[in-house]
Amino acid sequence: GEKLAAATNLILHRTGQKEIQEGITVIVKGEGVWVYDQDGTQYLDMDSGVTRPVHAGYGREELARAAYDQMCQLAYFTPMQFANVPAIKLSEKLAQIAPGEINNFTFECDGSEAVETAMKLARHYHYYRGDKARFKIISRRGAYHGVNGIGIRALGTVMPMRQMMEPLTPGSVFIESPYCYRCPCNLKYPECEIACARDLSRIIEFEGPEYISVFIGEPIQQGFGAFKPPKEYWQIIREICDKYGILLIMDEVICGFGRTGKMFATEHFNIQPDLITMAKGITSGYVPLGAVGCTGKVLEPIDIFNHLHTYGNHPVPCAVGLENIDIIIREKLVENSAEMGKYFLEALKPLEQHPSVGEVRGTGLWLAVDFTMDKKTRAPYPVANLLNMVARAKQKGAIIKMMGMALEFAPPLIIKKEEIDLAVKVIEQCITEEEK
């Protein structure tokens, strides 16, 4: 009756206004890079499931088996005073593949919790060293770091989500992002000398270095559409953080596990973060899991980490994560991401001939087409037109997503050339139709 009809209302609201108006699509099955709805219509998933975690593709029995076997062996045990085998093995595996000296790990339920845990670890680090006043968090305009309290403090988007949650907790500090296509400082690379990064010193001096705990950023930022900063950017940020004793968190929740053609996107910039947050691709989205990694330097002063969490270090997702990383390594998915990403980028580049396409860019299998109303002035492009193209692509059988003023593509890392060709055809058709 009525109660049953109302039961799904909140689920529908989470899918977004637009789809509610058009009628909801229920996805019932996935195989490789394809998903199928309740009517059997198939879609090429160019977004790897919403916000791209399905690195190994859909329908992997190995991952289902890893969960099943672990559930039969030990479904759960308290993380308080006890450890379990999958969490220990996953820590060892991550220590082998994480950038440089990131050697210590703990596990949470998702990316938002990983961000919260990393922030808490940073506070512990400062506290045990006697720096008890360091509570401020610096993040960037356009940043996304999750849905929980501290993540929302660092949320630099202009989405209503942040405005709705205001006032933010005191100590939420923002700097500009390196979004060169529409430079926030109105400068040009390389003459700009990375002014957006250097401005961090001024902000720190203004806020008081003795009050600042961390700087958090996505190595390649999602907010304006997969934007990779100039190579010096993170090195400058690292130097400034070091100068003022501020810890640097690289949020690899989207970028990690091969998305950008390296195991971690941090590797593109040759720097050592103090902490790393991970989620999504760590299990290819099969089960929820988030992870935090830190260096020995961060852990060393911490006596006890006050952070008991019922599902912390949960053995089942850790077992799936282990199997998933084995698949990524065994099937060379990082290499495929680099190679197919290059192919995809070259195929998309000619779209820059279109009057509405400002810039085509991408790193590994994370690409974006940034739109403008005027190529010369790089005038903003209406969200309504982007949503039209997303809806058109769906009608043509491809799931894509908009971000900032761009369309974004991030397919499973197993994608092949034929599937990329298909996607490019759909994208091109959508743009042509929208320009009419």
Give the SS3 label for residue 200.
Answer: helix
Task: Return the CA Rg of the chain.
Answer: 22
Please tell me the count of residues contacting ligand PMP according to CB under 6 A.
15
Q: Which is nearer to ligand PMP, 157 or 385 (CB)?
A: 157
Q: For ligand PMP, which stretch binds (CB under 6 A), given 105-113, 224-232, 296-304, 423-431? A: 105-113
Residue 390 binds to ligand PMP (criterion: CB under 6 A): no
Question: How many CB atoms sit inside 10 A of residue 417's CB?
Answer: 12
Answer for the pair 270, 229: CB distance below 8 angstroms, yes or no. no
The pairing of strands 34-37 and 42-45 is antiparallel
Q: Which is nearer to ligand PMP, 265 or 347 (CB)?
A: 265
- The distance of closest approach from Cβ of residue 121 to ligand PMP in the complex, given in angstroms and rounded to an integer, is 16
Q: For ligand PMP, which stretch binds (CB under 6 A), given 9-17, 18-26, 164-172, 247-255? A: 247-255
Residue 116 binds to ligand PMP (criterion: CB under 6 A): no
Give the residue among 298, 292, 280 at the shortest CA–CA distance from 250: 292
- The distance of closest approach from Cβ of residue 381 to ligand PMP in the complex, given in angstroms and rounded to an integer, is 22
Q: For ligand PMP, which stretch binds (CB under 6 A), given 140-148, 296-304, 321-329, 399-407? A: 140-148
Answer for the pair 381, 373: CB distance below 8 angstroms, yes or no. yes
Q: For ligand PMP, which stretch binds (CB under 6 A), given 15-23, 71-79, 143-151, 266-274? A: 143-151
Among 222, 295, 324, 356, binds ligand PMP (CB under 6 A): 222
Residue 412 binds to ligand PMP (criterion: CB under 6 A): no
Q: Which is nearer to ligand PMP, 43 or 144 (CB)?
A: 144
The amino acid that residue 152 corresponds to is I
Among 279, 287, 294, 389, binds ligand PMP (CB under 6 A): 279
- Joined tokens for residue 262: 């390296």
Answer for the pair 282, 289: CB distance below 8 angstroms, yes or no. yes
The pairing of strands 398-399 and 275-278 is unpaired
CA 234, 305, 124 angle in degrees (round to 5)? 50
User: In the range 45-74, which residues lie near ligand PMP by CB under 6 A?
Assistant: 51
- Joined tokens for residue 109: 């339920």
User: In the range 249-268, which residues lie near ligand PMP by CB under 6 A?
Assistant: 251, 253-254
Residue 408 binds to ligand PMP (criterion: CB under 6 A): no
Q: For ligand PMP, which stretch binds (CB under 6 A), given 104-112, 335-343, 386-394, 402-410? A: 104-112
Among 48, 112, 284, 313, binds ligand PMP (CB under 6 A): 112
Residue/partner pairs of 299-304 with CB below 8 Å, 24 or more apart:
299/104, 301/125, 301/128, 301/129, 302/121, 302/124, 302/125, 302/128, 303/128
Answer for the pair 302, 125: CB distance below 8 angstroms, yes or no. yes
- The distance of closest approach from Cβ of residue 217 to ligand PMP in the complex, given in angstroms and rounded to an integer, is 9
Answer for the pair 410, 48: CB distance below 8 angstroms, yes or no. yes
Which residue's C-beta sits nearest to ligand PMP? Answer: 111
Residue 157 binds to ligand PMP (criterion: CB under 6 A): no
Q: Which is nearer to ligand PMP, 220 or 241 (CB)?
A: 220
Give the residue among 66, 21, 29, 22 at the shortest CA–CA distance from 45: 29
Residue 370 binds to ligand PMP (criterion: CB under 6 A): no
Residue 146 binds to ligand PMP (criterion: CB under 6 A): yes
Residue 103 binds to ligand PMP (criterion: CB under 6 A): no
Give the span between the Cα atoms of 223 and 141, in whole angstroms: 8
Give the span between the Cα atoms of 238 and 253, in whole angstroms: 19
Q: Which residues bind ligand PMP (CB under 6 A)?
A: 51, 110-112, 115, 144-147, 218, 222, 251, 253-254, 279
